[in-house]
Amino acid sequence: MVINKLIASLQRKKTRRRTVKAILSREQHNKDVVNIHRLDTKNIGDYYCAPHHYFEKLKGKHLDIFDYKSQDKSVTDNFTKQISDNALIIGGGGLLNRGGFKLQMNLFEKLASQSKKTVLWGVGHNAKSPKYYGNITNYNIDVSKFGLAGTRDLTMPGEYVPCVSCLHEVFDKPFTETEEVGVIFHKDTVKKEQITNAFSELPTTSNTTNLEELISFIGKCNAIITDSYHAMYWTMLLGKKVAVVPNSSKFYDFKYKPIFTNFKDCLIDVKKAHTYSGVLEECREINTNFYEKTANYLNL
């Protein structure tokens, strides 16, 4: 089994390089537009963080950033063609300072330096090592090379553009609080019984559920404990208290600060959290304005 995993890893590595080389060898065009992000239906934050969900002229124009390493040649051929033929909207999500996206982001930076029209929308750093928590000073790409650069990290280069998922209509629904504290686990944490069992007496869910159920869960709680970036973000959009157990640098440069904690102390620490007002309206206005800039730049 170990040998099979090693062979599969080497095959993906070879495919990644071949796909990037194929794109760089092709003539580049801006015929239409494609929105590239981590299109993961099992992680609703990754899935809903892209503008193609919210603007009519972008609907249906999407591509998974991981398609470039698929072992299905039709998938990599389509990735190559879509990237080469179209202007690019890259994001949202934690695509920067993360090894799994480094090759793709370097590719997009090279294309941005040429004739390719490129937009970064709501991307941010996502370094996994704790030594980078609250300590990121540079992105691993030069965002100034892109035609438009909207980044979700307040103090970093680029125009501040928080996640576009704020535009989803689910945030306009009324909710009635019935619980004091709820816990939302990241899709990786939900597999760790030692952690999840410690919260068996509290209402819990994860970012693997559907968006409507997750927002309803947040809506019924006065405060949320989570290690999911988007659960943190959505909790703030609804004006709720939130305590975060960080698993990446991505939590540390949002405009509004949560209480940082760990799974041992979170039930005490969440009591220190406070709410922010007007976050939903502010984030929606920023994203709507950024779309107008994007539409003008890409001639949508």
Block means of pLDDT (10 residues each) for the chain, 300 residues, are: 65 90 96 97 93 98 97 96 98 96 97 95 97 95 98 97 98 96 95 93 94 97 97 98 97 96 97 96 98 97
pLDDT for 141: 97
> CB–CB of 241/257 below 8 Å?
no
pLDDT for 2: 63
Tell me whether residue 144 is exposed, middle or buried, using C-beta atoms within 10 angstroms of its C-beta: 0 to 12, 13 to 18, 19 or more: exposed
Which backbone phi and psi does 116 adopt, to 5 degrees?
A: -75, 130
pLDDT for 26: 95
What crossing angle do the helices spanning 73-85 and 2-25 adopt, rounded to 10°? 30
What are the angstrom distances between the C-alpha of 205 and each of 182, 218, 223, 276? 8, 10, 14, 23
Measured distance CA(223)–CA(236) in Å, rounded:
10
What number of residues does the chain have?
Answer: 300
Tell me whether residue 185 is exposed, middle or buried, using C-beta atoms within 10 angstroms of its C-beta: 0 to 12, 13 to 18, 19 or more: buried
The CA radius of gyration of the chain, in Å to the nearest whole number, is 20
pLDDT for 10: 66
Which distant-in-sequence residues (6+ apart) come within 8 Å of 230 by Cβ? 44, 45, 48, 49, 163, 165, 207
Measured distance CA(120)–CA(90) in Å, rounded:
5
> CB–CB of 104/60 below 8 Å?
no
Measured distance CA(125)–CA(174) in Å, rounded:
33
Q: Which two tokens stand for residue 90?
A: 């890259």
pLDDT for 166: 98
pLDDT for 42: 87
pTM: 0.94
pLDDT for 107: 98
- The one-letter amino acid at 153: D
Structural domains of the chain ordered from first start: 10-167+283-298 (no CATH), 169-279 (3.40.50)
SS3 298: helix
pLDDT for 6: 67
Reported for 172-179, long-range contacts at CB under 8 A and 24+ positions apart, including other chains, are 173/215, 173/216, 173/219, 175/216, 175/218, 175/219, 175/220, 175/238, 176/219, 176/220, 177/219, 177/220, 177/221, 177/222, 178/220, 179/203, 179/220, 179/221, 179/222
Pairing of strands 33-37, 62-64: parallel
